[in-house]
Amino acid sequence: MRVRPSAGDLDWISGGERRDWFFSLPVAMRMGLPHLYVYKDGGTFLPDGGAGLKAVDDLSGRRTAHITDLVTEASSYAGVWIPSIRDRGGEMLISANVIDRAQGGAVDARRVVGELALERDIFMA
């Protein structure tokens, strides 16, 4: 039996550098969760409490919902987003894409992330 993650299962909302942040930041704010910034070079950062960011190298046991602007071929998932979180001990429980260009990326993302159903209320605080 597959259990779908809920908002209470998440430690933060993540988004990839930079366009994803237009979508992932408002979701994090709406849900009252911290935002994990994932850079193209694989770096992961959290707000430092001021106007800056601090690098986070240990994500052990932490779970995220990753929000992206669009999926084309899902190369960023396989090459950057998932490894950046997983290699630091974190887990991407679910991903949401605003746009699917229907170029095979959704299929590839399912292969990498797994088949997950998104319940509409997961992003409702």
Q: Which pLDDT does position 44 carry in this prediction?
A: 97
Q: Which pLDDT does position 2 carry in this prediction?
A: 46
Q: Which pLDDT does position 121 carry in this prediction?
A: 52
Over the chain (125 residues), the average pLDDT of each successive run of 10 is: 68 92 92 94 94 96 90 77 95 80 58 50 50
Q: Which pLDDT does position 6 carry in this prediction?
A: 72
Structural domains of the chain sorted by starting position, each given as residue range(s) with its CATH number in brackets: 7-118 (3.40.50.2020)
Q: Which pLDDT does position 75 carry in this prediction?
A: 78
- Specify the pTM: 0.76
CA–CA dist 24, 34 (Å, integer):
10
> Strand 53-55 relative to strand 63-71: parallel, antiparallel, unpaired?
unpaired
Structure token digits, residue 13: 């909302």
Q: Which pLDDT does position 69 carry in this prediction?
A: 82
Quickly tell me which residue has 């039996």 as its tokens.
1
Does 18 sit behind a cis peptide bond, omega within 30 degrees of 0 on the bond before it?
yes
